Structure 1
Amino acid sequence: MKLYYSPGACSLSPHIALYEAGLPFDAVLASTKTHQLADGTDYYTINPKGYVPTLEFDDGQRLTEGPAIVQWIADQVPDKQLAPAAGTMERYRLMEWLNFITTEIHKTFSPLFNPAMPEEGKALMRTKLGERFAYVDRQLEGRSYLMGEQFTVADAYLFVVCRWTVPTKVDISSFKNLQAFVQRVGERPAVQQALQAEAQGNAANKG
């Protein structure tokens, strides 16, 4: 199994999930700028959408879109409780969070990474993100994670998008519950392992 990723991108979410699940996989660096692999392979031949993540199975099938990938990963190791059982209301709550993060937070960051976006537009996006993070902060009141006390794949995704607030200058310093959440998740061994692996992969690519 292969995970095609780009350091710091949303592919960090399934990267974390794979380490949390303990599933064997190979991480393959796919540049989001050149759309090529280290060996020169055109990434569009692997994922026609051109972006990460892509999860490639041993039989050659490929799955794209982070929220779908992390649920697949979670379902391979139900004992890890990375996602509630399929068909339960709790599972739909997880899907609710994944959809909120991907549509209301993740995509709102996109203009902030676009150098062609005017500063006035970026200011509007930062305001909108502040409102979304305020909502998340309220939901985390009295909870360790989004679903309560159990870490799930939604938490990995939220952690990843929260990391983007630093380079894009989105201020979340007033959201104490969210700040505590980011620190809590960041201390998980699987998260540290994924961050280290991506840092090493990025360094090797630059070398």
Structure 2
Amino acid sequence: MSFTLYGAAGSGSVPVEAAMTLIGLDYRVIEAVTWEGEAERDKVAVANPMRQVPTLVLPNGEVLTESAAILIWLADAYPEARLGPGIDDPRRARFLRWITFIPASIYSMFWVRDEPSRLVGDDPAAQDEVKRRTLGRIAECWRVMDSQITPGRFLLGDELSVLDLYVAVASRWTPRRARFTAEAPRMAEVVRRVDALPALQGFWAERFPFGADEAV
């Protein structure tokens, strides 16, 4: 039996798709570009009343939402893939800290940035200020994470984890890779390795291809 993932190219579903690809799971993606309007969000409503991606339907019909939760579940459910430290691993605390930091401190900013009118109404000046401040907040969070983490070849040491996949994707959102590299130079070295993983070259090209103007 296969998994069903509601997602969209370039979105928070991409690290989940990357993890499932590396694990070798049978899954299908129902494309739902939720930031493009109600019709797209309605596609997800059948599985998730929040109408957000990623939403993962397990083979038994159970629904998982929230990107960090899905990534943690995949790492724990398929330990043979070695995509996350187990409960007794000394890296477990760091893994949980940072994989939840991303949605709590960074990913959450995009709910505001994408439609600032949700908070400040139709005032263009207020909307511009929200965008400016959220951009600064995202950059600050990357800087803080970079100052607190000591990468090896990957973020938790020498083994790839779902945390690396998550950061590799999220670092490409606003303020994009050039600013990310300036704020988080140690993590920037790691995400370049993740970009270059041979096992994911076809996947990245299909689900989150780099544009000609993007710093990598």
TM over 0.5: yes
Give the conservation status (yes or no) of the 8 Å contact 1:8–1:198.
yes
* RMSD (CA atoms): 2.6
Q: Separation in 1 of the partners of 2:44 and 2:144?
A: 36
Change (3 A) 1:77 1:10: same
- How do residues 7-156 of structure 1 correspond to structure 2 at under 5 angstroms? 7-32=9-34, 33-36=36-39, 42-114=43-115, 116=117, 118-141=127-150, 143-156=152-165
Moved more, 47-56 or 175-184: 175-184
Change (3 A) 1:57 1:177: same
Note the alpha carbon deviations across 1:19-49, whole angstroms, 9 max, x for none. 1211121122123034557xxx742122111
Q: Separation in 2 of the partners of 1:154 and 1:162?
A: 12
**Seq. identity, %:** 28
Counterpart of 1:5 (choices 4, 7, 10) is 7
Give the conservation status (yes or no) of the 8 Å contact 1:98–1:154.
yes
Alignment correspondent of 1:205: none
Counterpart of 1:177 (choices 181, 186, 189) is 186
Matched letter for residue 17 of structure 1: A
Higher relative contact order (CA 8 A, sep 6+): 1
Q: Separation in 1 of the partners of 2:37 and 2:61?
A: 24
Change (3 A) 1:165 1:42: closer
Number of residues paired by the alignment? 197
Unaligned segments of structure 2, at least 5 residues: 118-125, 210-216
Matched letter for residue 14 of structure 1: V
Alignment correspondent of 2:169: 160
Unaligned segments of structure 1, at least 5 residues: 201-207
1:195 pairs with 2:195: no
Q: TM-score, length-normalised on structure 2?
A: 0.79
Give the conservation status (yes or no) of the 8 Å contact 2:139–2:180.
yes
SS in 1 for 2:171: helix
Q: Separation in 2 of the partners of 1:23 and 1:45?
A: 23
TM-fit CA distance, 1:115: 5.7
